Chain A
């Protein structure tokens, strides 16, 4: 129990920062992927 007295807020803030970084990071990846597919699909349609 050596860590008990320390200020716990930095850890809480770090935890939520990490959570949102992961959520937003994966969201951005999915958005980029969707855009990429939409773009290439319309491209292939116009091509044919």
Chain B
């Protein structure tokens, strides 16, 4: 019995008692924080005004300027979750776990936004709010996978266990994305083809790119601040734990 206790405490110290500290906001983050709203407003104002109505889609094409960048960056966020989850299981660095958590939350927000925008675009274009096409459906599944990820984090109390579990869920979830996409695609093509209109005029491509970068800045800023928040929470929890421990040992 005593042996178990020793083993457990050794495991805890290995995983979660590497020093954690909240450093002051780095300079690049401050710069990016102010750059992001400028980039977002600038890109949207310019391209929404400048782009001519599309031959097929009319003004609806302007929705793409936010829909597509939101989707791209949501995928980037989940790639971040995957990378940090692998890093956690490999290095057992708690900061990797917190980075993954921050990425998952921001990614879920962006995925939710992508779905809403897709729906708003789909109503006048396809005449329906929802269609069972491969991209839309797999995005919805992706959203649910990460909602589950965040729920698991919320419902697990032990930080070291939470980190291991959510890393496993994050990796398997990322693994599942291409499989879901493929399966929905087959499922759809066996029934009917959904033709997506693709017209590429240069303003459109430029507008997409500008907004994609603005959203990327926003993603980085959001993840960075969310990470700092999670880190601050953990630092505080550690202080409380340490205080309780010293009090008990005294």
**Contact, CB under 8 Å: A23 / B229:** no
Q: Which of B117-149 contact A (CB under 8 A)?
A: 117, 120-121, 123-127
> Chain A interface: which size bin?
20 to 34
- Shortest CB-to-CB span from B95 to chain A, Å, is 16
Picked from B59, B226, B232, the residue with its CB within 8 Å of the CB of A9 is B59
Chain B residue numbers with a CB within 8 Å of A30 are 222, 225-226, 229
Q: Which of A1-48 contact B (CB under 8 A)?
A: 1-4, 6, 8-9, 11-12, 14-16, 18-19, 22-23, 26, 30, 33-34, 37, 40-41, 44
A45's nearest neighbour on chain B, judged by CB, is: B239
**Contact, CB under 8 Å: A34 / B218:** no
Whole-angstrom CA separation of A18 from B239 in the bound complex: 40
List the interface of chain B (C-beta within 8 A of A). 40, 44, 48, 57-60, 62-63, 66-67, 70, 106, 109, 112-113, 116-117, 120-121, 123-127, 218, 222, 225-226, 228-229, 232-233, 236, 239
**Contact, CB under 8 Å: B117 / A18:** yes
Contacts A/B (CB < 8 Å), 27 sampled: A2-B127, A3-B125, A4-B58, A4-B125, A8-B58, A9-B59, A11-B120, A11-B121, A12-B48, A12-B59, A15-B62, A15-B117, A15-B120, A15-B121, A16-B48, A16-B66, A22-B112, A22-B113, A22-B116, A26-B222, A30-B226, A30-B229, A37-B232, A37-B236, A41-B236, A44-B236, A44-B239
Task: Determine chain A's interface SS by DSSP, over half rule.
Answer: helix
B124's nearest neighbour on chain A, judged by CB, is: A3
**Contact, CB under 8 Å: B229 / A33:** yes
Whole-angstrom CA separation of A19 from B106 in the bound complex: 14
**Contact, CB under 8 Å: B126 / A14:** no
Whole-angstrom CA separation of A2 from B126 in the bound complex: 7
Known contacts: A15-B63, A22-B112, A23-B40. The answer to whether A6 contacts B124 by CB under 8 A is yes
Whole-angstrom CA separation of A35 from B58 in the bound complex: 44
**Contact, CB under 8 Å: B120 / A3:** no
Known contacts: A18-B117, A26-B222, A41-B236. The answer to whether A12 contacts B109 by CB under 8 A is no
- Shortest CB-to-CB span from A23 to chain B, Å, is 7
Whole-angstrom CA separation of A11 from B44 in the bound complex: 16
Known contacts: A3-B123, A12-B62, A37-B233. The answer to whether A19 contacts B225 by CB under 8 A is no
**Contact, CB under 8 Å: B63 / A12:** yes
- Shortest CB-to-CB span from B57 to chain A, Å, is 8
Chain B residue numbers with a CB within 8 Å of A26 are 106, 109, 222
Known contacts: A11-B63, A30-B222. The answer to whether A18 contacts B113 by CB under 8 A is yes
**Contact, CB under 8 Å: B60 / A19:** no
Known contacts: A11-B121, A14-B120. The answer to whether A3 contacts B126 by CB under 8 A is yes
